[in-house]
Structure 1
Amino acid sequence: MKKIILPILAIAIGLATPALAQQTSLTETAPESKPINELKYNLTPDGSKYIKATFLNQVWLRWNQSNRGTTVNGDLQDNTIDIGLRRTRMQLFGQLTDHIFFYTQFGMNNFNAMSQNAGNRKFQVFFHDALGEYKVFKDNDKLKIGAGLTITSGLSRFSQPSIGTIMTTDVPVFLQATVDQTDQFGRKLSLYARGQLGKVDYRIAMSDPFPVQTNGQTAPTLGENATFNTFGHTKQYQVFFIYNLLDKEPHTTPYMAGTYLGEKNILNMEGGLIYQKDATAHTNNGVDPIYDDMMLWSVAAFADMPLQDNKYALSAYTGYFNTDYGKNYIRNNGIMNPANGNIDPTNFSGPGNAYPMFGTGESIYIQVGLRLPNNMLGNQGTLMPYASYRRSSYDRLDDAVNVYDAGINWLINKHQSKISLNYQLRPEFVQTANGDVVSDKKLSSAWIQYQIYF
């Protein structure tokens, strides 16, 4: 046994010695080194070439007032309380050379007691992003060409959000317009170009959308209202432009920040579109399909800036969105839905917390928040109250969709550790005997989120 163990120990000591020597050298040359606040390995002394890893976990404890007729595994429930992982993600990315960048993201979403994929709760973790990118000019960001599975989108900044930095606990999901229908949780296989030309930030992409029948759910049947097309296959084209009136936003990854907490002086005008020929279909006679093109476009403004010598920080966004999916398209959706059934024949919204989230029509979305003084709570951080409002007028509905959110972030350590409380008021839609779809009443939800982001 000694003949086996001693050589192994010798090899282990030999391998460890250079690493220990290097660690000692670093300690001796930098005895007052700064505490580590990121998982980053520099490939060059100046840090311009690197590999970086991040981890994010968002845990929710939520109370929800159920839509009429809601059941949980067959049991009628007026309200529910659930615990869930809204998002759990790991990123690995880096600048390998002057020109070569890669980005990957792995994780899961909406994992609570009702979670399942094809009947199995274990099938939740997947690659969100996997792309390679070529930076054409090594000294600037004028042009980057990339391809792979990517969030790069044309509709809005909230269609490609940095979810670790969002202000309002959750993003306006209706702006992830085809989520889990013809994409993989907002990501698509794309060839794209992005960059910054002076004050203009641009993204242009050709995407190869997934057929809707591969999303793990029953494929939609052809009817009088548009649904995503199951026949044929067409490409999707996306463009998005931002004009930076003040500071430029970072351009490392395609993701866009929710709030910088006053660490930048941002004022942007934004606009974009997504187009796909024959994306949806409907029928007038129950037999022959009529194909509809999908055209989604938006204009918006975003401000995120310090106030009163950085004592406070303002974050605000307002946008207009025109979403034409095809004739009377509507899709109900409930975020991390706590229920899985409904027995009320007049219910239109669906079970649990679902409501008409996506549709053909027009929408406005507004959010505003104020970061209070950084030293407000001493070494326990500060607070950031916020509110948001969304109004959508969809062709198929007789009433508008109005969603109100208000809450407060306790920024214990900026976005790295924060506790958020959110209250939401959403509509419940019912279908009348004559076929009208109307908003019957408002229902409430409230949740506490704890986020760790490192």
Structure 2
Amino acid sequence: MKKLLFSLFGATFIAGTLQAQTDSTQQATVTKSVTSIRNSTSEDKPLKFNLNESGTHYFQATFLNQVWFRYNESNPGTTVQGEPAARTFDIGLRRTRMQLFGQISDRAFLYFQFGQNNFNFNSQIAGNRKIAAFFHDAMGEYHLTNGNQLKVGGGLTIANGLSRFSQPSISTLLALDAPVFAQATVDQTDEFARKLSLFVRGQIGKFDYRAVISDPFPIYTNGSTPVAGPNATFSGRSHHKQYQGYLAYNFWETEGHNTPYMTGTYLGKKKVLNLAAGIMSQKNALWTKEVNGSTKLHNMLLWSAEAFMDTPLNTDAGTALTAYLGYYNYDFGPNYIRTVAQMNPADAISINPNVSLVSGGGNGFPMMGTGNIMYGQLGYLLNKNLLGEGRGQLQPYATFYRANFDLLNDPVNVYDLGINYLITGHKVKLSFDYQNRPYFNTNNQVNGRRGSYITQLQLSI
């Protein structure tokens, strides 16, 4: 019954919005006024301060808030504050961010991002309800050429080498959320996918490239106590630099290059098709405890190959197609596995003796590990006048995730179906998503499946 109510909540939220807009059209003068306001909104100017008369030197601010309303079918054995919880409903801030950036001279670019993530009733630290926001990015770069051919930069940055989803523009995502598995070391040896790095990046003709040297954080700085065991975990003993590289070829238009972030969907505003490959490596990044009691260090080597397309289909109707397919090969050392639960609404550990610890509690599933992953997205932007002129667009989408990890005896198959209601493009966006995921028994075989239902409201300027 709760599942039905939550599904109806999401559907009613969207339907109610549409109905309210439909009712307002009964008054012609109101319709004309609302249409005028919406048309002017589409031409809103950015929060931008020009530093010179021509505007080539500027500084700009953006703000974003993503609120989740979620009903989750818990993994078996889940508890919330020690009490059994087969189902949960929670409200949370998935992301709250501000960006400050600008071209402060002919060749110097400055970028900051500040905010917080995953703030819900269960995310609090004992004695502290004001979970600290933090700098996600604080970096600068210098153009060594007159264009984008060669830039060198450094600082705390998300500039990565592995894939486009290792550095996603979260305000322009197609699916409800980013595929976090592509941020392969997230909050292990980095700060929410950001690292202290020195990088070069640029565009030469149809090629887009970036090369990065990062200084990863020691694993114990995330609050964990590193202990070597039979399965690989991040080492608490050895410290080496991390090396990354990414190369893409753009067959049609080239993508924007202002910041390192990569767009999720252009909503038909660009015609993009590219193929890309990326790599990330670090010496002695992980360790295991051998049978004889000695500790063995293991190198980390991750790589991917991917294709991305975003293209208008009918410019008069405003329809567009977005598609992505990627293959990821991860070597973290013998039998490495990591379970992730995004903004977990429950305690992280399952107390069911028949369920493997790799499932975790709440909404978790094995997301990163030694093995390989296939991931795909497909989205279709429907006719811009389907709901009536000036009333936004609908964009249904589907994603799939399939991982074969060495430690597990069955693949991890996760499916998402959803729809975006683009009220004012990405600025005002209402999304509804259903995710279906597996959980595993103590033989590391799939023992059943669970679902989550999420309504997200995104507001950004």
Tell me the percent identity.
53
Residue 169 of structure 1 aligns to a residue whose secondary structure is coil
Q: Could you list the per-position Cα deviations for residues 127-186 of structure 1 after superposition, in whole angstroms to 9, with x for gaps in the alignment? A: 00000111111x310011000000011111000000000010101110000000000000
- Structural mapping, 1:329-340, within 5 Å: 329-340=336-347
| 2:108 matches 1:100 | yes
1:413-424 pair list within 5 angstroms: 413-424=424-435
How far the C-alpha of 1:118 sits from its partner, in A, is: 6.8
Q: What is the DSSP-based 3-state SS (H/G/I as helix, E as strand, rest coil) of the residue aligned with 1:379?
A: coil
CA distance in 2 between partners of 1:34 and 1:87 (Å): 24
Could you say which residue in structure 1 is the equivalent of 2:375? 365
| Superimposed CA distance per residue, residues 69-128 of structure 1 (whole angstroms, 9 cap, x where no aligned partner) | 100001100000000000000000000001110100000001000113476342331000
The aligned counterpart of 2:4 is: none
- 1:143 maps to what in 2? 150
Q: CA deviation at 1:343?
A: 1.6
Give the equivalent residue in structure 2 for 1:170: 177
Q: CA deviation at 1:374?
A: 2.1
- How far apart are the structure 1 equivalents of 2:218 and 2:131? 20
Look up the equivalent residue of 2:328 and give its one-letter code. Answer: F
Mapped to 2, the partners of 1:225 and 1:118 lie a distance apart of 31
Instruction: Tell whether 2:239 aligns with 1:233.
Output: yes
Structure 1: segments with no counterpart, 5+ residues: 1-31
Match of 1:288 among 280, 286, 294: 294
Residue 424 to residue 394, structure 1, CA distance change in 2 (3 Å) = same
In the alignment, does 2:69 pair up with 1:61? Answer: yes
For 1:380, what is the secondary structure of its paired residue?
Answer: coil
Partner of 2:96: 88
Which whole-Å CA distance do the structure 1 matches of 2:426 and 2:41 have between them? 23
* Structure 1 residue matching 2:363: 3-state secondary structure: coil
SS, match of residue 165 in structure 2 = helix
Indicate yes or no: 2:225 matched with 1:219: yes
Once the two structures are superposed, what CA deviation does each residue of 1:308-360 show, in whole Å capped at 9, x if it has no partner?
A: 23521000000100011111000011000000143212322111001101100
1:18 is matched with none
Structure 1 pair 286–449 and aligned structure 2 pair: CA distance change class (3 A): farther
Are the counterparts in 1 of residues 378 and 398 from structure 2 also a CA contact under 8 Å?
A: yes
Q: Partners of 1:328 and 1:249 in 2: how far apart?
A: 37
The amino acid that maps onto 1:383 is L
Given candidates 385, 390, 393, the residue that maps to 2:396 is 385
Alignment of 1:246-265 (within 5 A): 246-265=252-271
Q: Distance in 2 between matches of 1:262 and 1:286?
A: 59
Partners in 1 of 2:68 and 2:115 — Cα distance? 16
Identify which range, 366-375 or 269-278, moves more after superposition.
366-375
CA distance in 2, matches of 1:282, 1:187: 26
- Write the distance in 2 (CA, Å) between the matches of 1:141 and 1:118: 47
Q: Which amino acid aligns with 1:179?
A: V
Whole-Å Cα distance in 1 between the matches of residues 292 and 168 of structure 2?
Answer: 40
- Tell me which of 181, 187, 206 is aligned to 2:188: 181
Residue-pair matches, total: 417
Aligned to 1:408: 419
Q: In the TM superposition, what whole-angstrom CA distance separates every residue of 1:277-329 from its partner, at most 9, and x where no partner exists? A: 00100022262111110000000000001002352100000010001111100
Conserved 8 A contact 1:222-1:286: no
Residues 186 and 307 of structure 1, relative CA distance in 2, 3 Å threshold: same
Consecutive unaligned residues of structure 2, counting only runs of 5 or more, are 1-39
Q: Is the 8 A contact 1:222 1:281 kept in 2?
A: yes
Instruction: Name the amino acid aligned to 1:37.
Output: K
- Asked whether the equivalents of residues 223 and 286 of structure 1 are also in contact (C-alpha less than 8 Å), the reply is no
Residues 262 and 310 in structure 1, CA contact (< 8 A), matched pair in contact too: no
CA deviation profile, 1:177-234 (whole Å, cap 9, x unmatched): 0000000000000000000011000010000000010012x22311000000000210
For residue 154 of structure 1, give the secondary structure of its aligned residue in structure 2: coil
Counterpart-to-counterpart distance in 1, 2:309 and 2:54 = 32
Structure 1 residues 163 and 310: CA distance shift in structure 2, 3 A = farther
In structure 2, do the counterparts of structure 1 residues 64 and 109 end up closer, same or farther at CA, with 3 Å as the change threshold?
Answer: same
1:44-82 Cα offsets, whole Å, 9 max, x none, are 233221101000000000000001110000110000000
Provide closer, same or farther for how the CA distance between residues 117 and 99 of structure 1 changes in structure 2, counting only shifts above 3 A: farther
Larger Rg: 1
CA distance in 2 between counterparts of 1:116 and 1:276 reads 33
Asked if 1 retains the 8 angstrom alpha-carbon contact of 2:275 and 2:307, the reply is: yes
TM-score, normalising length: structure 1: 0.90
In structure 1, how many angstroms separate the alpha carbons of the residues matched to 2:63 and 2:239?
Answer: 36
- Code of the residue aligned with 1:356 in structure 2: it is P
Partner of 2:276: 270
1:370-426 deviations in Å (ceiling 9; x for gaps): 011223222220100000001000000000000000100000000000100000000
The alpha-carbon distance between structure 1 residues 116 and 310, as it changes in their structure 2 partners (threshold 3 A), is: farther
For 1:246, the aligned partner's letter is: W
What TM-score do you get using the length of structure 2 for normalisation? 0.88
